[in-house]
């Protein structure tokens, strides 16, 4: 009988001020291309604040979308709804606009040129864990699109005064388990050790014990009790990694999933929090090859790649890490292309980001950006996004990481 000791990791537009954020974020969660954002001020604490935030959003929508209707009448209706119920419901058009602008406002996303292409699956009527699990799997099927990845968001029930909306604990809909065997060597993705441990506590029997065991979804609805749901295999497309020249590479047994669907961020629109709103774009290759598979606290593959390449690892001055890193990233791009799965490279996306900035500024809109996330994790100075500064202003609507959601992703929520 297998015995696993699991090692939990303890790492320790309306303008808003960003909080300091010390917790390292998932590198493959950058944005649709890849989407991670620093936390901003939380949901409104009073009806007055909710009214103010709702009105600011409605004015923004009316200003930018000519077909938004009679602004005064809509504001009056929202005021009356908040007064009667303590909340209000977005129209389908408002929801779609808010979700897209939240992407446009994502300071850590390099792929915002495509923000208008985000497709919306309105599932606000779904608030139970079973329904969320079914729709999450369908989200992956539709986003995968036979390998031609489409930017997609599925929006579930929002938080309401009488009932919280559902929550997905997993950082992404597709995550690999993180185990530590008795002898101490990590198996799988160490980042997910905490949520893996929690899955065991909830009754998950575990996977076959490989480095790429799919984790079940951990979902809680209004009753606050998390439940497990296995992802159907037909919902998850994975790409086996091979190198364009090195034939031994396929023998490493490496792979990665095709759709980076962020699952635990709150979509905040006009004071309304949608705590379960999984969304995705496609990967930028460096998110997989330069972070997920290369970081020392993730899969830490550079020493193994360097050994297979016959590189001198006795000194950093040989630049063995740099050479191994480039070959690992070549393998990712080659493999996704060979499999017919959408992936972008960091040089192309850097140029596109500057195009996005030019377009937004020509429309009189500011573009917030976090330099440390916009600049790619390899060959930064060889890309045009490196040689400039950015305005760090964070605007709303926004995708937000609330501290309690980040804790749940580490497996620290209550059962």
Residues annotated as catalytic (active site), given as ranges: 109, 112, 282, 287
Q: How many CB atoms are closer than 10 A to CB 144? A: 23
β-pairing, 152-155 with 119-122? parallel
C-alpha 1/C-alpha 65 separation (Å) is 61
- Tokens, residue 237: 């497309």
Percent of the chain that is helix, strand, coil (3-state, to 5): 40, 15, 45
Q: Where are the alpha helices (DSSP H) in 340-388?
A: 346-362, 371-374
Buried-exposed string 323-335: b where 16+ CB fall within 10 A, e elsewhere: bbbbbbbbbbbbb
β-pairing, 343-344 with 283-284? parallel
The CA-atom distances, in angstroms, between 324 and each of 288, 378, 393 are 14, 12, 36
């Amino acid at each position: 009988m297998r015995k696993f000791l699991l090692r939990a990791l303890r790492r320790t537009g309306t303008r808003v001020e960003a909080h300091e954020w010390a917790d390292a974020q998932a590198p493959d969660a950058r944005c649709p291309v890849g989407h991670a954002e620093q936390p901003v001020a939380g949901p409104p604490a009073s009806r007055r604040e909710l009214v103010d935030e709702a009105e600011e959003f409605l004015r923004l929508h009316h200003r930018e979308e000519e077909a938004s209707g009679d602004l005064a009448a809509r504001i009056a209706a929202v005021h009356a709804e908040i007064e009667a119920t303590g909340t209000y419901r977005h129209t389908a058009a408002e929801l779609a606009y808010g979700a897209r602008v939240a992407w446009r406002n994502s300071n850590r996303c390099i792929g915002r040129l495509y923000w208008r292409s985000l497709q919306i699956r309105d599932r606000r009527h779904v608030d139970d864990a079973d329904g969320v699990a079914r729709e999450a799997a369908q989200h992956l099927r539709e986003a995968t699109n036979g390998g031609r990845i489409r930017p997609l968001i599925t929006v579930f029930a929002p938080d309401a005064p009488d009932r919280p909306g559902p929550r997905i604990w997993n950082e992404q809909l597709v995550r690999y388990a993180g185990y530590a065997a008795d002898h101490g060597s990590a198996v799988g993705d160490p980042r997910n050790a905490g949520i893996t441990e929690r899955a065991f506590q909830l009754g998950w029997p575990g996977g076959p014990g490989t480095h790429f065991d799919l984790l079940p979804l951990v979902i809680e609805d209004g009753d606050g009790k998390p439940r497990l749901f296995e992802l159907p295999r037909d919902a998850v497309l994975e790409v086996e990694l091979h190198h364009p020249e090195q034939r031994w590479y396929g023998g490493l047994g490496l792979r990665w999933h095709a759709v980076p669907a962020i699952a635990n961020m709150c979509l905040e629109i006009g004071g309304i929090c949608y705590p379960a709103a999984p969304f995705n774009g496609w990967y930028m290759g460096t998110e997989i090859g330069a972070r997920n598979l290369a970081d020392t606290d993730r899969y830490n593959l550079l020493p193994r790649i360097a050994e297979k390449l016959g590189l001198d690892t006795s000194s950093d001055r040989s630049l063995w890490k740099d050479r191994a890193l480039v070959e690992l990233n070549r393998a990712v791009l080659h493999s996704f292309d060979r499999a017919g799965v959408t992936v972008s490279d960091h040089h192309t996306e850097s140029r596109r980001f500057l195009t996005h900035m030019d377009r937004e500024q020509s429309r009189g809109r500011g573009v917030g950006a976090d330099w440390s996330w916009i600049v790619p994790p390899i060959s930064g100075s060889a890309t045009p996004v490196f040689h400039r500064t950015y305005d760090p202003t964070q605007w709303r609507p926004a995708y937000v990481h609330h501290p309690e959601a980040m804790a749940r992703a580490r497996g620290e929520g209550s059962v």
